[in-house]
Amino acid sequence: MAHPRSADALLETLDAETRDTLAGAPRATLRPRVGHDTARRALDMLNHLAGGSPTASNQLRAGDEIGRGGMGVIRAAEQVALGRTVAIKTVRPDHRDPDAALDLLREAWITGSLEHPNIVPVHHLGVDDRGLPLIVLKRIEGVAWADLIGDAAAVEDRFGARDLLAWNLGILLRVLDAVRFAHSRGIIHRDLKPANVMVGDFGEVYLLDWGIAVSLRADPTGRLPLASESRQIVGTPCYMAPEMADITLPLSERTDVYLAGAILCELLSGKPPHLATTPIAALASIALSDPALPADAPVELAAICRRAMHKDAAHRYASVDEMRLALQRYLEHRGSANLALGAHARLAALRVALDEGNDDEVHRLFGACRFGFHEALAVWSENADARDGLTGATLAVAQYELARDRPAAAVALLRELDPPPPLLAKAREAATKQAARDAELAKLQKERDLSVNADQRSLLVAVIGLVFTVIPLLMAYVPGLPLQTYAQFAGGTYLALAASAPLAAFAYRRFGTTEIDRRLLLVMPFMFFIQAMWTTCGWMAGIPLPWVQIAFPLFWSGMVGVIAILGEPRIAPASLGYLIAGVFAARFIEHRYLALAFGNAVLGLNAVAWYRLKCREAHRPQSSSDAARS
């Protein structure tokens, strides 16, 4: 197996003309130079084939020059017998040497053997008045691909194509069709480049200049040069494959694959891969074959280019057809790639929003880029770029949600990824802990939610307030009613305490579903107990009963005031009502029962209003600021 030689070793084998072309004219074609005897035999063969018949030049009326190459010149002409416009290619007047003649002759033989829609048809091969080859070709109205390859405005104006890359890839595909056909005949082109492709005014594509093509198969007629006999550096330096610069390496169909990859490199980067300022730099670039592609080049297309241009021919596409199919697949996937590209732009904006901590913008941009990536994957499920983008966006937002103590949202996002990322386990653990905390908080909130049983509680408080308003009024205005002596009043108080216990127990079972209810229900028997104990202590101290009774409003004022101070200021009016009742009872002791009725009435009304207000607040829709505080 032959190994490539170093650039220094190759440089020593080059003649001056080749060195000058490598660095000074890298887009020019290096053509083979043959011995004088070989060229003369080729011309003798041409004269023999002509056989003394009328030359092609006698049947043509030459016109203006329409093109000029390294060795030949092309003129427009009229083929008189058929009355059609053709093109004739002859040796340039300043290159009448045998090499130029043989070069043109071989181009005619090779092109004439390849009848394909993307190869210019050869109508006739003859000799001109100088005895040099003359090729009659189909006249092509168009422009060289090299003049259009980077001109989006010209392409849109001429062909209506707005996507320059897609249009160029379409041209390359048709060039590969021509090369594929040539390979089926055992011929490799060796000089694929945009300058050798003509694009007709109606979109026709022709691969030109087969002058350095060689055959991989033996040719009994001796017309076709054989690849196995190629012992010179031939081709265009800035596109050249390693085996073209190192003649110890064999040529093959994969040489044209490389050249097609070099054209693709130019489509992506805007320049051929091996432009250099010195011969050694050119040879080093060819040997390395590591195309410098822009960072924004489509990933799939860049991979096609690098594989086609691999320095080791064994690692390239096995055929131009394989490369052609890869390019076709890319064009099919291009819609997906464009969707992914747009989603990546939104992903970049998303990362900025994540850094700024803007929730609304984060969620808006994440929804947009996730939708874009999903759409790209729907078009092409194997779009790795879209899948990576979707994974990156999801992980970034999941981490953002975790950092803001929203693990459930992170879990919902991470569950969409396949395979599940390691972060999912952490998010699930955090979500479980938060769910437990939320459940405990919900339980506490329910325990203290005054909207639960609000109607029944309001009714109960209203009834109790009414009862304890009516009893003092009865004591004040119904003569002979018991409870006028210590024994009677104390007995009545203890009887009320005994009666309040089962009432509280009933209410506890009926309404005691929340902590606030349970605590409020305990207040009633507790207050009766304190009142009974105060009465008993007054009797034991010998304090007159009326003076014991006027302390009740002040006692209730203090109790309710403590409740207002500790957390519910809206119950303060009841404390004020009891304070007024106590002062009134002390000034007008004979009206103490009326004062006590007044304080109880204010408490009942205040309690009912308080519960109603709490119920309305519980059912009022929360504003965003309220929700944030909660």
Homologous superfamily (CATH) of 1-25+142-318 is Transferase(Phosphotransferase) domain 1 (1.10.510.10)
Q: Which residue has the tokens 């509680």?
A: 457
**Domain range 31-139, CATH architecture:** 2-Layer Sandwich (3.30)
Residue 166 has pLDDT above 50, yes or no: yes
Output the average pLDDT for the chain: 84
Residue 489, both tokens: 């009043």
Confidence category of residue 574, pLDDT binned at 50, 70, 90:
confident
State the Cα–Cα distance between residues 606 and 568, nearest whole angstrom. Answer: 12
Phi-psi region of 153 (alpha: psi -120 to 50; beta: other; left: phi over 0): alpha
Could you state, in order of their start, the residue ranges of all structural domains in the chain? 1-25+142-318, 31-139, 349-442, 454-619
pTM score, whole prediction = 0.64
- 339-384 pLDDT, tens per residue? 998 999 999 999 999 999 989 999 999 999 999 999 999 988 888 8
By mean pLDDT, which of 98-102, 134-138, 610-614, 617-621 is the weakest?
617-621
Q: Is omega for the bond preceding 419 within 30 degrees of 0, making it cis?
A: yes
State the Cα–Cα distance between residues 286 and 311, nearest whole angstrom. Answer: 8
Q: What SS3 state is found at 400?
A: helix
Residue 24, both tokens: 């000074």
Q: Are 246 and 182 spatial neighbours (Cβ–Cβ below 8 Å)?
A: no
State the Cα–Cα distance between residues 421 and 388, nearest whole angstrom. Answer: 13
Rounded to 10 degrees, what is the CA torsion of 259, 263, 264, 268?
140
The pLDDT of 450-471, averaged and rounded, is 69
Gyration radius of the chain's alpha carbons: 50
| Res 168: pLDDT | 97
Phi and psi at 59, nearest 5°, equal -100, 5
- 320-356 and 359-379 are packed helices; what angle lies between their axes, rounded to 10 degrees? 170
Q: Are 78 and 63 spatial neighbours (Cβ–Cβ below 8 Å)?
A: yes
| Res 105: pLDDT | 83
H or E segment and range at residue 66: strand 60-68
Q: Taking Cα atoms as reference points, which of 69, 52, 63, 113 lies closest to residue 88?
A: 63
- 205-259 pLDDT, tens per residue? 999 989 889 999 988 877 788 888 877 889 999 999 999 999 889 999 999 999 9
Residue 465 has pLDDT above 90, yes or no: no
Rounded to 10 degrees, what is the CA torsion of 57, 58, 63, 68?
0
On the question of a common fold for 1-25+142-318 and 31-139, the answer reads: no
